[in-house]
Structure formats: C-alpha cells, structure tokens
Amino acid sequence: MSVSSIARLESMLHARNLDRTVVQPFSGQPGILAETGQSALDELLAGGFVRGHLSEIVGPRSSGRMSLLASVLAAATGRGEIVALIDTCDRFDPVSAAAAGVELSNLLWVRGRGQESSRDLEAIVKRALKAMSLVLDAGGFGVVAFDLADLPARTIRKIPMMTWLRLSRLLENSKTVGVLLGPEPISRSAEGQTVVLRSSSTAGCWSGTHDRNRMLQGLECQAQVIRARRPRHEFVTLRPEFPRPGSS
C-alpha cells in the first residue's frame, strides 16, 4: 500500500473517531515500559512489558507462571506503584508473594471463588471479567493482572473476542500494564507481548547444605517471548530469588 493510501485511510478513520485502532510502530521508549524484575526476560521484551496494552504469561501447570507474576508485581511495587490482581479461582498466596518482594500494602487483591462444580464456571468467569473491567476503568494502577490459569482451556476459549478488545480499549493511553495468566495464549492487544513458559530440566532451587534442612526456594523455568510482528524463538532461563532483598 502506498504512503498516500495509508494517509488517506488514517484520515478516514480519524474522521470517524476510529483512529485509535491504527497500530503505531513500537517506539521502545523507557517511559512506556515496565521492567519485570527478570533481566534476561526484560532483554527479550526490549525493556519490559508495554504500558497501555494487554500482555500474557502462559504455560502449563508448574511452569512458573505465578513466580513470574510475583516478580512483575514486586518490581512494580518496588517502583512505588499500586498493583491489582483479579484472582479468579482464589489461588494467590500472599505469604509467598511477600517473600518474593511484593509490597502487599500496594496490592489490591480481588478474590474469586474456588471452582465448586462445572456449572459454576460461567458465573465465576463473569464476575472476574466484571471486576477486571471495574479495576481498569478506575485507573491509577501500574500493573493489573487477571489470573485465569486454573480454568479449563475450553472455558477460556468460550470468552468472546470482543471481551478482550474491550479490556484492551480500557488500557489504551494509560500507564497500566495489563497481564493475563493462562494455560495457553488467550488474547493480546496490538503491542502486547506473550511470554510462554516451560519448566526447566533442573527446575528446583533449594537452600541449605544438608538434605534435612534444605528448603525449596522456587522453580526455575524457561521463557520465550512471542510478538505479533517480531517473534523471538529463543528461550531464556528465569531463576527465582527468594527471599528478595529487604523482604521479611
């Protein structure tokens, strides 16, 4: 498409107040990036998650999704930001999060209900989506995470695409990083990123020098970043650091 054709199309979209749907090139400016607390991952992300867009952390069970989310939340609260977590199935462990460096006084934790039966799933998801919309609409958060990881993949796939478009629209022009957690890629906005996790072959990180006093400090995992226009095929290893410096 020629430059003049593109300009004419953008002018038509602007006239109909649809110009925000035009994808602008990613500028890479540090001010619109939020570091994840994992330097290896930040390098793949060109500095961190993009503010004002919906990104994803996905992978199978025990792949390190919550550990990485804790790192993201710890980095955000360490910058003095307020963060929020929509905990759909009530799986969040605040003690582990605090050990990872999350400042709990800066965290809004919206707790959902545990799954009681398959008939409850629709209501659970509906309440969680409503909570996510309200939090994003309120604004003022550095990171807003939406945990769908413990829902069956088939249930997540039933969520209409318009729902994700609406959430992406709420994030537009804000300084908030939207993060979805799930078992597989769900949805992302034009500049959002998807981080795919898998367990490392040497997954356990332990402290102590003897079998009887060793404690599990976290799980190593490998992360790959997928972007709509700039795919990255390599994996990097993420290592947990528990307890974080300064944490009690």
Whole-number pLDDT of residue 164: 92
Is residue 68 scored above 90 in pLDDT? Answer: yes
- Domains assigned to the chain: 26-189 (3.40.50.300)
- Strands in the chain per DSSP E: 33-34, 49-50, 54-58, 83-87, 107-111, 143-147, 177-182, 194-207, 215-226, 235-238
Whole-number pLDDT of residue 167: 94
Residues 153, 157, 160, CA angle at the centre, nearest 5°? 155
- Chain-centroid distance of CA 162 in Å reads 19
More confident residue, 5 or 186: 186
Whole-number pLDDT of residue 182: 93
> What's the pLDDT tens digit per position in 87-131?
999 999 999 899 999 999 999 999 987 655 556 788 889 999 999
Helix 161-171, helix 121-138: angle, nearest 10:
20
Average pLDDT over residues 1-20: 57
Average confidence score pLDDT of the chain: 79
With beta carbons less than 8 A apart as the criterion, state whether 180 and 129 touch.
Answer: no
